[in-house]
Amino acid sequence: MAEAHQAVAFQFTISPEGINLHLSYQALNQIYLSGLRSWKKRISRIKNRIIKGAYPASPSSWLFIVIAILATMYMQSDPSMGLIAKIQEHLPLSLSLSPQGQTMLSALLFSTLLWMSLILTLRFCLKLLLSYHRWMFEQHGHMSTKTKVWATLVKLLSSRKPLLYSYQTSLPHLPVPPIKDTLERYLESVKPLLDLDGFQRMRRLTSEFEKSLGNRLQRYLRLKALWATNYVSDWWEEYVYLRSRSPIMVNSNYYGMDFLYVTPTPNQAARAGNTITALFLYRRKVNREELNPSRIPGTVIPLCAAQCERMFNTTRTPGEETGKRTFIQTCRHKYALRKWPLMQSLCLSDVLQHWQDSEFVAVYHRGRYFRLWVYRAGRLLSPREIQFQIQRILDDPSPPSPGEEKLGALTAGNRTPWARVRKQFFSSGVNKQSLDCIEKAAFFVTLDDQAEGMKGENPSENLDRYAKSLLHGKCYDRWFDKSFSVVVYKNGKNGLNAEHSWADAPIVAHLWEFTLATDTFHLGYNSDGNCRGDVDHSLPHPQRLSWDIPFEVQTQISESLAVAQALADEVDCHVFPFRKFGKGLIKKMKLSPDSFVQLALQLAYYRDRGTFCLTYEASMTRLFREGRTETVRSCSNESCAFVLALEGGEDREQCRKLLRKTAEKHQNLYRLAMTGSGIDRHLFCLYVVSKYLGVESPFLKEVLSEPWRLSTSQTPVQQMELFDLVNHPEFISLGGGFGPVADDGYGVSYIIMGEDMINFHVSCKHSCKETDSHKFGCQVSQAMVDLMTLLNPDFRDTTEANSDEQT
């Protein structure tokens, strides 16, 4: 009750003697400071809008132009060629200004218009420059004169320090590639996967599509590209993610891990305190746009930052019926490779909801939900104070209320039952208030009562269990709808689980790199493992959320949990660090590390299954405004030829030539995907258009039903300057991974750490007798060794092939 009384700013009582007014100066002070913080944020946003609006020029350039115009006029010259006089003629007659004042006002208006025109011109020039991508296809170390001039101009126009979103209006729009080029590249990608009859049949379907329906769909798509900022992203978000009715746990969400060798503190509350603080510091940088825009490594070329906007205070809410459709079709996606209804007879769609900055987080511990305020009087609590509050939650002995403990299972099961239950039982009263606290929180925190990490009697098994815990946990102790959920374990290890629809893995990876580095190197811990700083013991206790869960909802919770548990039990995860060499040695062989790993995966898959498969590698299209991802079809004619030659025992020199040819081909495919000339997003959008028009295409139907049995993704390391791996080599991140993709395939994520390590995350399904994540991990390790041995005769494998999986 003390907290409730403190929250009242004033009280009054009426008595025969009159009205007695009692002011709470502490509460009024809190209100004042909170309002002051809000106004500071508004002023900061206005300032940033002005700076962004003027980029690539500066706001101060307006003053320079005004002074220059006035100085020229003072010297009896008219730089406007009569425009200032024209403006003066059209000024309102009601202005009670002298002729000199009117001239001055006209000059200011002309200067402002000239300044705005120069900004638009510079922005247009920068957009034209950023639309040039031929530099990516030039041989390394051999830059053409045209590219040199282009690079100089880009540096000149980007010389001012930009804010996070400064480049957004200067980024080019994603172009629609010619349909003929897309179809030719598609046929080339499936040729090694089909027999002669199958390929001829597919060629016939492709030709018929191009001559009949294809050009009609292409015209509609070009029309959308002229109107929309990005012709792919809105459809991709809606139809691939938000309209899926299957569980997002495992199928769509992905995870990120802590350091491999180091746990900064064994104190769970302390680790949570620093982690939460670091995340709010990152949010502050995003809000103030103090983060540097991401760029292509080694260049000044910016990447789109639009996905950062919904990082915090965002929740995916289950959708309700939105309208009627008359057809059902299926498509497949990289992470959630399930049948997703593009247009359903009763069309359901989830909604991404984003709120203004929340000053609290939602916390789950042993079946109870809490709201933890991290701001007081407009001040972010210190890490030590957040630790103090987290410890209060850990020490709270109260039991869960009926139905509360496994409530989160609703977010792990099928979407339609969750939407129905949410509408019926969480739209009013105490349930709505508590659900709002979770959904409007900055992010979600789980205080897990298990200990995870590498250390123990069986490090390999421990890592696998750690991955599964982050991917799905107990299926009810994460809130899978939140943009991301942080998990802090009993032994101080941490990690996160991220929802996929709002952003792709590189955005979350950037956030997590900052969090780990800030937690360890900036905030730090004292000698006894606690957070640094002082504690205000008068802080109000974290608020326990209340629920009224009727029997019908508890029944649905049990059903959703059963669906989620069956899905989680199917997952076979294997995480292993490959330490025999890394990108340092690969680069000495003059090969791209990513191409090398992709070729090793092709070789490993062939040895595992005796055949080749359609392979998905995620690339990004963030060179364009609101760009997300594109597919690199890594299984090519060249990669198949190399694998067959190596396994067939052909001459070593011939195999080397084929290997380098394959790596070059892969690099070219990756560049095409990055520059808007990929295959799959174009075909996907053509398919969506066909559904809107109500026409059937046998070609598109078959293309979008092809299974990706090998789905791969590299987790980029974007802020190496935050980690001193030379002096602190133990601070190596494990990266992250995702669930199995096809029922009979593999999902593989990898992160290239430093010069001498590559960490792999492999997933598949127990129900498929032909897949085994541990066996495939051994195949990957051996393939990496065999490729390096082929390239470098001096390289010798001094350990057993599977020793990389021991830690």
- Amino acid making up residue 148: K
Residue 500 annotated as catalytic = yes
H or E element, residue 661: helix 652-674
Burial tier of 701 (Cβ tally within 10 Å: 0-12, 13-18, 19+): middle
Q: What angle do CA 29, 32, 38 make, to 5 degrees?
A: 140
Whether 334 contacts 616, CB under 8 Å: yes
CA dist 687 and 332 (Å) reads: 12
H or E element, residue 618: strand 615-620
Whether 403 contacts 554, CB under 8 Å: yes
H-state helical runs in 332-458: 383-395, 415-425, 429-439
Torsions phi, psi of 746, nearest 5? -125, 145
- Amino acid making up residue 366: R
Helices and strands of the chain, counted as H and E runs: 24, 22
* Alpha-carbon separation of residue 643 from 78, 189, 239, 711 (angstroms): 74, 16, 36, 19
- Amino acid making up residue 247: P
Whether 358 contacts 372, CB under 8 Å: no
754: left (phi over 0), alpha (psi -120 to 50) or beta: left
CA dist 648 and 660 (Å) reads: 18
Catalytic residue among 472, 500, 510, 666: 500
CA dist 422 and 428 (Å) reads: 10
Which of 175, 245, 264, 644 lies closest to 417 in space, CA to CA?
245
How many Cβ atoms sit within 10 Å of the Cβ of residue 259? 20
Whether 599 contacts 666, CB under 8 Å: yes
CA dist 454 and 257 (Å) reads: 11
Which of 426, 84, 454 lies closest to 263 in space, CA to CA?
454
- Amino acid making up residue 198: G
CA dist 770 and 467 (Å) reads: 22
Annotated catalytic residues are 500
